[in-house]
Amino acid sequence: MSHTEELVAEPLATQSKQPARSYAAKEASGALGPWNFERRIPGPHDVQVDILFCGVCHTDLHFVRNDWGMSMYPLVPGHEIVGRVTAIGDHVTKFKEGDLVGIGCLVDTCRECDNCKQDLEQYCMGGATYTYSAPEKKEIGFTYGGYSNKIVCDENFILNVSDKLPLEKVAPLLCAGITTYSPLKNWKIGAGHKVAILGLGGLGHMGVKFAAAFGAEVTVLSTTASKEADAKRLGAHKFVLTSNEEQVKAVQNSFDFILDTVSAEHDYNFYLSMLKTKGAMVCVGLPNQPAVVPAFTLVFQGRNLAGSLIGGIAETQEMLDYCAANNITSDVEVIDIKDINKAYVRMEKSDVKYRFVIDMATL
Ligand SMILES: [Zn+2]
Ligand SMILES: [Zn+2]
């Protein structure tokens, strides 16, 4: 071998990458289909996970269709990931091969800003790296999510998952679970509080379970009368059909807290009027259009209107541990990956109780 040949190193791309399989959208108008791509080989602080189940969040659909104008294609959705560790980097201390783990909406953040230092990584001022369709911090390219056979992620963004609960029912906790747990905790909801959950879908059904588990009196507010029986099965004490004038009148000025999980356009004022003096309504859904909020409704009863985004990594772990200790899981319908496009059509019609979860063994 000549001296010159010795210097020709293998290109970095082939050294540091490994093949992976997925279902991806190739363009905004396209359906999801099989796509082979590359993941990085685990670095010193990385954990490699074989994905067992991945929940299907409404955000996945928004990103596939580029509703928010920030999608990058090919797009591999999925941020409700549960799997098993198959490899770890040299410096990984928190996980070992064979561990059951979860990955939610975040795979990296700046780790230096005030929010990151206070376990509020979801509000990272340096820009959080979301699990899919987000620019990578240390590499060229963008992230690919959980509709895939494997994922590689920094150990600081990986959660411990108990083997006590069915894993397919745990997957949605990584987004729908923490999104509803965090605001209820932040407002210290518990016994003696009257809580309303607005909307009974993937988020709302988890909101009902958590609020009831925390000891609150829980009312579901819904436009669909047929949801009453299910609301009560999930733990709600009361149900208000919001098209029924008398039922709505009876709950004026009555709730300490409303968790608004609705992503369709809706009248905030209508629901704010159901809050007690100093009560709070927290939005976790994301309607596309801005809403009109009359200051009068807020000012005259000292009401609060706020928002909340998922939760930090420590709080997500706290939520998973709470669920394992209290036997709380999501209600799911497990699907084969080949049926994902049909699942999206049904999800748009709210025709799922209450979360689709993909069995990744079918990929
Ligand atoms: Zn989500
Ligand atoms: Zn940060």
Distance (Å) from CA 194 to ligand 1 centroid: 26
Residue with token string 């201390």: 93
Judged on CB neighbours under 10 Å (0-12, 13-18, 19+), 139 is: exposed
If one counts every other C-beta atom within 10 angstroms of the C-beta of residue 339, the result is 13
| Local confidence band at 138 (pLDDT 50, 70, 90 cut-offs) | confident
Distance (Å) from CA 108 to ligand 2 centroid: 9
Distance (Å) from CA 96 to ligand 1 centroid: 27
Report the candidate in 17, 167, 147, 42 with the shortest Cα–Cα distance to residue 99.
167
Is the bond preceding residue 294 a cis peptide, omega within 30 degrees?
no
Distance between CA 342 and CA 325 in Å, rounded?
35
Beta bridge partners of 259: 197, 282
| Local confidence band at 6 (pLDDT 50, 70, 90 cut-offs) | very low
> Helix, strand, or coil here: 240?
strand
Report the candidate in 264, 255, 256 with the shortest Cα–Cα distance to residue 224.
264
Distance between CA 251 and CA 54 in Å, rounded?
38
- Residue 106 pLDDT > 90, yes or no? yes
Lowest mean pLDDT: which of 137-141, 199-203, 283-287, 353-357?
Answer: 137-141
Neighbours of ion ligand 2 (CB under 5 A): 109-110, 113, 116, 124, 126
| Local confidence band at 15 (pLDDT 50, 70, 90 cut-offs) | low
- Residue 343 pLDDT > 60, yes or no? yes
Q: Read off the amino acid at residue 323.
A: C
In the prediction, which pLDDT does 137 show?
Answer: 82
Chain centroid to CA 19: how far?
Answer: 26
Residue pair 62/175 in contact (Cβ under 8 Å)? The answer is no
Q: Which two tokens stand for residue 360?
A: 């990744």
Distance (Å) from CA 309 to ligand 2 centroid: 15
Average pLDDT, whole number, for the chain? 94
| Local confidence band at 10 (pLDDT 50, 70, 90 cut-offs) | very low
- The β-bridge relationship of strands 106-108 and 304-307 is unpaired
Distance (Å) from CA 59 to ligand 2 centroid: 22
Residue pair 152/25 in contact (Cβ under 8 Å)? The answer is no
If one counts every other C-beta atom within 10 angstroms of the C-beta of residue 63, the result is 26
In the prediction, which pLDDT does 167 show?
Answer: 98
Q: Which residues contact 173 (CB under 8 A, 6 or more apart)?
A: 80, 102, 206, 319, 320, 323, 329, 330
Distance (Å) from CA 215 to ligand 1 centroid: 26
Q: What are phi and psi of 213, to 5 degrees?
A: -65, -30
Distance (Å) from CA 198 to ligand 1 centroid: 17
Distance (Å) from CA 135 to ligand 2 centroid: 15
Distance (Å) from CA 60 to ligand 1 centroid: 7
Distance (Å) from CA 344 to ligand 2 centroid: 33
- Ligand in closest contact with the CA of 261: 1
Percent of residues in the chain assigned helix, strand, coil, to nearest 5: 30, 30, 40
Distance (Å) from CA 324 to ligand 2 centroid: 29
| Local confidence band at 294 (pLDDT 50, 70, 90 cut-offs) | very high
- Ligand in closest contact with the CA of 177: 1
Higher pLDDT: 14 or 204? It is 204
- Residue 3 pLDDT > 80, yes or no? no
- In this structure, the chain runs to a length of 363
Mean pLDDT, to the nearest integer, of 310-332?
A: 98
Distance (Å) from CA 124 to ligand 2 centroid: 4
Distance between CA 28 and CA 172 in Å, rounded?
24
Distance (Å) from CA 123 to ligand 2 centroid: 7
Beta bridge partners of 101: 83, 160
Distance (Å) from CA 115 to ligand 2 centroid: 6
- Residue 5 pLDDT > 70, yes or no? no
Distance (Å) from CA 248 to ligand 2 centroid: 42
Distance (Å) from CA 129 to ligand 2 centroid: 10
Distance (Å) from CA 6 to ligand 1 centroid: 49
